[in-house]
Chains A and B, each alone.
Chain A
């Protein structure tokens, strides 16, 4: 595809349910980032992959959040036992270089998660 795609675009979950959010980065992009964007706020960093290696997960808010990129392309962000405070837009971005530094990050449209 031409850009970063994410699915689903919208997800409604009942509190306590597990959810899985998918990101398809631009083909050949080495770096992949996940961000969380609350309503009216800027995106906040969650985690970073270089190929299949998760090099930074310092932004994950709790151990209920887990991300993987097993083959170095598609990535999944999983949230277990969702809480209302998890409601946000989850953005995925990819960049060509092995470091996000000085390489443009291309963002997907996001998945809007609503936890009832």
Chain B
């Protein structure tokens, strides 16, 4: 069963614009991670945010976490065509097994040049 729900399911923007994707989850967590998946490829880890953190930055990526609302957002600034991919949030549930992640269904991002 999938814990996270990404919103929107699909997003199409122009190069240079910012892209915001949201993730909601159901149970308390140890941490939340965002992954990128290019078509036909494996997942690439982008960023991890712990349950006691509210915001984290990595290059053009900004992640926020609101544990009271059980939600997270991923912001990609100044998007590039190479950012075209599916983006997944994954949670490590509190009390869960040793770190197996529970993924959402993903947001499919298309960045047009």
Contacts and interface: CB of A to CB of B under 8 A. Distances in A.
B59 interface: no
A42 B104 contact: yes
Contact of A109 (B30, B41, B45, B92): B41
Interface residues of B, number: 27
Contacts of A4: 42
B100 to A, nearest CB: 4
Contacts of A100: 92, 98-101
B92 A101 contact: yes
A107 B103 contact: no
Interface string A82-116: 00000000010101001111111111111000000
A42 B98 contact: no
Interface residues of A, number: 32
Interface string B28-39: 001100010000
A41 B43 contact: no
A35 to B, nearest CB: 8
B105 A106 contact: no
A55 B43 contact: no
B102 interface: yes
A107 B45 CA distance: 8
Given A42-B88, A48-B97, A104 B48 contact: yes
A42 B40 CA distance: 13
B84 to A, nearest CB: 17
Interface string B69-105: 0000000000000000000101010000111111111
A93 B43 CA distance: 9
A44 B104 CA distance: 9
Given A42-B104, A55-B98, A59-B100, A101 B42 contact: no
Given A4-B42, A43-B88, A91-B43, 9 more contacts: A35-B103, A42-B90, A42-B104, A43-B43, A43-B101, A43-B103, A101-B98, A102-B30, A104-B45
Q: Which 10 A-B pairs have the closest CB atoms?
A: A100-B99, A42-B103, A107-B42, A101-B99, A45-B100, A107-B43, A56-B97, A99-B98, A109-B42, A104-B45
5 contacts: A42-B103, A95-B99, A100-B98, A102-B30, A104-B45
